[in-house]
Amino acid sequence: MLLDKDTAQRKIYRMAMQIAEQHFDKENLVLVGIKENGLAIAEAIHQYLTNNFTGALSVISLSLDKRNPGDITLHPDISLKGKTIILIDDVANSGRTMLYAIKRLLNQTPAEIQTLALIERTHKLFPIAVNYVGLSVSTGMQQYIEVQVEAGKYFTAVIKEKK
């Protein structure tokens, strides 16, 4: 097992505290979770930030087909103009998903966009830097990482072989 429940929770808590420390002076912070697992991580981070962030804090979901990302939707579709955004996913693999998501977010002229991944793989195909990383892992090209979410708040991760 790459991450057990306790280790994953500690990493999520640590990233939330890094966000609170770095953005203590911001008025609006929007956590954008890429469905499904990224949204669950965004909600977990939101729980930790509610007691440690004084500005307005919200969570929205971003949906896209990771294989054909033509239609990208935000829910709720609120204005992001001038706001600080943290884009959240479970695994930063090739960087493609975050790149398409960022493209959609840029259309609303936010003040800043940062990225967060519970697990970052070290061989990206697209130029995406992850600002907040729970665990950085070097895996083989024939492997992938699966993050499992239990009850919307317990996370585990395993490395699997591609078939």
Note the pLDDT tens digit of each residue in 12-22. Answer: 999 999 999 99
Q: DSSP readout, 56-87?
A: EEEEEEEE--SSSTT--EEES----TT-EEEE
Note the pLDDT tens digit of each residue in 63-95. Answer: 998 777 778 899 998 999 999 999 999 999 888
Q: DSSP readout, 107-142?
A: TT--SEEEEEEEEEES--SS----SEEEEEE---TT
Distance CA(116)–CA(60), nearest Å, equals 15
Residue with tokens 């830097």: 129
Answer yes or no: is pLDDT of 10 > 90. Answer: yes
Contact between 73 and 105 under an 8 Å Cβ cutoff? The reply is no
Domain boundaries, the chain: 5-161
Note the pLDDT tens digit of each residue in 86-143. Answer: 999 999 988 889 999 999 999 999 999 999 999 998 777 788 899 999 999 988 878 8
Quick one: CATH architecture of 5-161?
3-Layer(aba) Sandwich (3.40)
